[in-house]
Amino acid sequence: MSPRTKEQNDAIREMRMNQIMQAAAEVYLEKGIQLEIRDVAVKAELGYGTVYHYYKNKHMLLEDLLWDALNRTESAVLPALTGDGGSLLKAESFSRLLLRKCIQDPSVFILLKTVADNFHHFPGNRFIKLFADFQERIYLPFVEMIREGIGFKSPEKTANLIFGSLVGCTALNIHHNMRNEMDVEGIVDMIFSGIQSKER
Amino acid sequence: MSPRTKEQNDAIREMRMNQIMQAAAEVYLEKGIQLEIRDVAVKAELGYGTVYHYYKNKHMLLEDLLWDALNRTESAVLPALTGDGGSLLKAESFSRLLLRKCIQDPSVFILLKTVADNFHHFPGNRFIKLFADFQERIYLPFVEMIREGIGFKSPEKTANLIFGSLVGCTALNIHHNMRNEMDVEGIVDMIFSGIQSKER
Amino acid sequence: MSPRTKEQNDAIREMRMNQIMQAAAEVYLEKGIQLEIRDVAVKAELGYGTVYHYYKNKHMLLEDLLWDALNRTESAVLPALTGDGGSLLKAESFSRLLLRKCIQDPSVFILLKTVADNFHHFPGNRFIKLFADFQERIYLPFVEMIREGIGFKSPEKTANLIFGSLVGCTALNIHHNMRNEMDVEGIVDMIFSGIQSKER
Amino acid sequence: MSPRTKEQNDAIREMRMNQIMQAAAEVYLEKGIQLEIRDVAVKAELGYGTVYHYYKNKHMLLEDLLWDALNRTESAVLPALTGDGGSLLKAESFSRLLLRKCIQDPSVFILLKTVADNFHHFPGNRFIKLFADFQERIYLPFVEMIREGIGFKSPEKTANLIFGSLVGCTALNIHHNMRNEMDVEGIVDMIFSGIQSKER
DNA sequence: GATGAATGAGACTTCATTCAT
DNA sequence: CATGAATGAAGTCTCATTCAT
């Protein structure tokens, strides 16, 4: 009876939502929080009404973007979470995976930067749940590896130091259009040899 | 006809402008680029017409804020620029001074973060001159120290790495209300021992 | 090529149009003029594209709704128009029939209310013809009965008084969810004994 | 220090708010709930930004309009509430005062019509408090008079009947541009002689 | 110098409507 | 016939800015 089947419509919906989120991520990288729905629509090559067909408003779109990025972040670091080896080695591997993903996937970069900045620029308290989920699924596992790896000293502070450095370096490079020159190994090596030499 | 002397008026003027810039910095830390002139006026306990009495528009205010911060940043790191000692030690000292200032002076934090993010969130091309000045007065001297300190390897990348890490760590801590718990020595030690161990 | 005969299609067509009009009446009772085609479609359990398949636009739908209600209103009061008896009794009977129909048939209520309110809330001048028809087929016959019944005094004013009261009472009851408690006899009695006692 | 004193500003504010509310009432009479802020501003001879300077949004404006009308309604019927005489006479006097006020003051007409229609056309549940206040300050006192006047029979139904009729007649006349021809005495007489003759 | 009333450009959002399937 | 994806006109509203006092 239906001219398109429910499955066809669902496929279209999912495709469009991804298309829109990706466009939004690109626009966000250019204009920051001041992105306009109109820009997103242009980037996605859609009418702006279409964006509203899928997202009730700008905040819903950004929220969905970040949740989606959270899922992809988790997938990206999973090997380090489940892998074998010494804890500090796992933490280093985790950092490497995180950094690579973050460089390659704009949404993940936005997520990590946004979390590091505690949703600065993002108005309202819409993101408490997202932050809690990020902590539980990404950050606390990382803190645990650090804790096991470095002994008695404050693993939270060390994790913050590593995370802040990773995100800070990435932001500097990406915002200055040096994404392609980024030296993942160099950054992670620097940070972790810094951590280890302090351990001694 | 005026009941005040020119000197009195100038004093009021300077006082008001500092009052407004400081308020603007505080509001920026809360709301980011979406700060409103009204918020600034409330924070400064002035009518919002008064803000316009001193600043032609929002961008002038932010620009003035950043230029002012640039001057104070320069003053803060001056000892490291002029001091004696090995280049890498001077760079470390420079970093320490920068980080301390950045933690203690909100405007300086905003400046460094903004520069690191290449004026992301800031619309327009208003800040080219400011960026050039920052490069000349702060960043290139720092790069030089690094260059002298580490030999042939890319000092720009290393400087970026250090600068990105410093700003990233500071941002993480400040935005999560952990300004007072920040361990300046720890951060700088970590970064520089990381740098040095890679040198070996 | 069509798998359905013309008759079957016509039957579907008429059924669907009634289904949609009834849904529209129900939605109008809830949301007033701000009804959305989407609401109507949901209430009718149809896709909203289907509503547009039958009605070119929202105004056509409302117009059709009111014309349809006008026809049913005429049928409902016909007995009073053609019946015997004193004019005032006929007017009373007319009122009783009108009120009953109006309570029982949402579309008729909407029609009468809309006419009483002179298409307030309805934008445009789309309804002049409908209003003229209502006057000719419903209102003027009623005014004539009044004229014959009460002698020289302004029958138009009296008819307005009766009509306004009937519709006003019905609206109050229906909008406050007291449709089922409405006392048709009581209302008509009150109005007509009021009219008559003024005659004496 | 202030260029205008607080008192001057307050006076301006109050004046403007009344000016805007009155304009809003006039526009509402023309266009109903679909009134646009732009229309209101034009009618009030103000920029539409000015309307937003005083009212956060359309609904706040309408809400304030209705509250203001409620206060004026109460003042208008006060003499009947406090006066002497038989209860039914007081109810009749109340009705007369209400009707006169309603004809003369557009906002009061809008209030009464809106209450009678149970906020039909008004989206949201913003008006529960207003309705409760109306009940307490206007309607229940009226019901009490009826109760004392007519003995055992349902005073609520009678009050509804009277209120519905009054508002219905007024609406019919006002919406058909016959405000000036309205016969307050005739309407109230008709209703109350109808009520009384049913009492006998 | 100080203030807040007044304003409209421009962004946000809704929703009627078109149209491909 | 039936549907919902796609769209943009038109309305809502925010907020930087001007200006009279």
Q: Across residues C97-104, what is the average pLDDT?
A: 97
Instruction: Grade residue B39 by pLDDT with cuts at 50, 70 and 90.
Output: very high
pLDDT at C29 over 70: yes
pLDDT at C88 over 60: yes
User: Got the DSSP string for A139-197?
Assistant: IHHHHHHHHHHHTTS-HHHHHHHHHHHHHHHHHHHHHTT-GGG--HHHHHHHHHHHHHH
Average pLDDT score, chain C:
93
- Position A2 scores a pLDDT of 66
> Per CATH, the architecture of B58-199 is what?
Orthogonal Bundle (1.10)
Q: Across residues A96-115, what is the average pLDDT?
A: 98
The nucleotide whose C1' lies nearest the CA of A39 is E11
- Position A87 scores a pLDDT of 85
Higher pLDDT pick, B55 / D198:
B55
User: Got the DSSP string for C146-200?
Assistant: HHHHHTTS-HHHHHHHHHHHHHHHHHHHHHTT-GGG--HHHHHHHHHHHHHHHH-
Helix (H, G, I), strand (E, B) or coil at D126: coil
- Position A167 scores a pLDDT of 98
Residues of chain D with pLDDT under 50: 200
Q: Rounded distance, CA D25 to CA D171, Å?
A: 14
Least confident of A22-36, B161-175, C71-85: C71-85
pLDDT at A181 over 80: yes
Average pLDDT score, chain A:
94
pLDDT at B197 over 80: no
pLDDT at C1 over 60: no
Q: Residue B38: name the closest of D64, D53, C77 by CA.
A: D53
Boundaries of every domain in chain A: 1-55, 65-199
Do B and C count as touching (3 or more CB pairs closer than 8 A)?
no
Looking at chain C, which subunits does it touch, using at least 3 CB pairs closer than 8 Å as the criterion? D
Q: Across residues C147-155, what is the average pLDDT?
A: 83
- Position B3 scores a pLDDT of 67
Q: Rounded distance, CA C22 to CA C26, Å?
A: 6
Note whether B168 contacts A173, CB cutoff 8 Å: no
- Position D1 scores a pLDDT of 53
Superfamily holding D1-55 = Homeodomain-like (1.10.10.60)
CB A71 within 8 Å of CB A105 = no
Among candidates A34, A178, A189 on the partner chain, residue whose Cβ is nearest the Cβ of B33: A34
Q: Across residues B109-120, what is the average pLDDT?
A: 98
> What is the CATH topology of the domain spanning D66-199?
Tetracycline Repressor; domain 2 (1.10.357)
Q: Rounded distance, CA B133 to CA B130, Å?
A: 5
pLDDT at B178 over 90: yes
- Position D200 scores a pLDDT of 47
Q: In chain C, how long is the greatest CA-to-CA distance?
A: 73
pLDDT at A200 over 60: no
Using the CB atom, is residue D126 less than 7 Å from strand F?
no
Rg, C-alpha atoms of chain A: 19
- The class level of CATH for C59-199 reads mainly alpha
Higher pLDDT pick, A22 / A200:
A22
Residue A36 contacts by C-beta under 8 Å, 6 or more apart in sequence?
Answer: A27
Do B and A count as touching (3 or more CB pairs closer than 8 A)?
yes
Q: Are D1-55 and D66-199 in the same CATH fold?
A: no
Q: Rounded distance, CA D120 to CA D127, Å?
A: 11
Q: Across residues A151-173, what is the average pLDDT?
A: 93
Using the CB atom, is residue B52 less than 7 Å from strand F?
yes
Q: Across residues A128-148, what is the average pLDDT?
A: 96
Task: Please state the separation of Cα D108 from the chain's center in Å.
Answer: 3
pLDDT tens, C107-147?
999 999 999 999 999 988 889 999 999 999 999 999 999 99
Helix (H, G, I), strand (E, B) or coil at A4: coil
Least confident of A64-68, B78-82, B160-164: B78-82
Q: pTM (2 decimals)? A: 0.93
pLDDT at B2 over 70: no
Interface-testing mutation among A150, A174, A175, A183, with chain B (most B C-beta atoms within 10 A): A175
Using the CB atom, is residue A13 less than 7 Å from strand F?
yes
Using the CB atom, is residue A129 less than 7 Å from strand F?
no
Percent of chain A surpassing pLDDT 90: 86
Higher pLDDT pick, A155 / A150:
A155
CATH entry 1.20.120 includes domain A65-199: no
- Position D29 scores a pLDDT of 97
- Position B152 scores a pLDDT of 67
Which contacts (CB < 8 Å, 24+ apart) does range D146-150 have? D146/D87, D146/D88, D146/D91, D147/D87, D148/D87, D149/D86, D149/D87, D149/D88, D149/D90, D149/D91, D150/D88, D150/D195, D150/D199
Higher pLDDT pick, C84 / B91:
B91
pLDDT at C22 over 50: yes
- Position B5 scores a pLDDT of 85
Instruction: Please report the sign of the dihedral spanned by the C-alpha atoms of residue C100, residue C102, residue C106, residue C107.
Output: positive
CB C193 within 8 Å of CB D193 = yes
User: Got the DSSP string for chain C?
Assistant: --SS-HHHHHHHHHHHHHHHHHHHHHHHHHHGGG--HHHHHHHTTS-HHHHHHH-SSHHHHHHHHHHHHHHHHHHHHHHHHH--S-HHHHHHHHHHHHHHHHHH-HHHHHHHHHHHTTTTT--SSTTHHHHHHHIIIIIHHHHHHHHHHHTTS-HHHHHHHHHHHHHHHHHHHHHTT-GGG--HHHHHHHHHHHHHHHH-
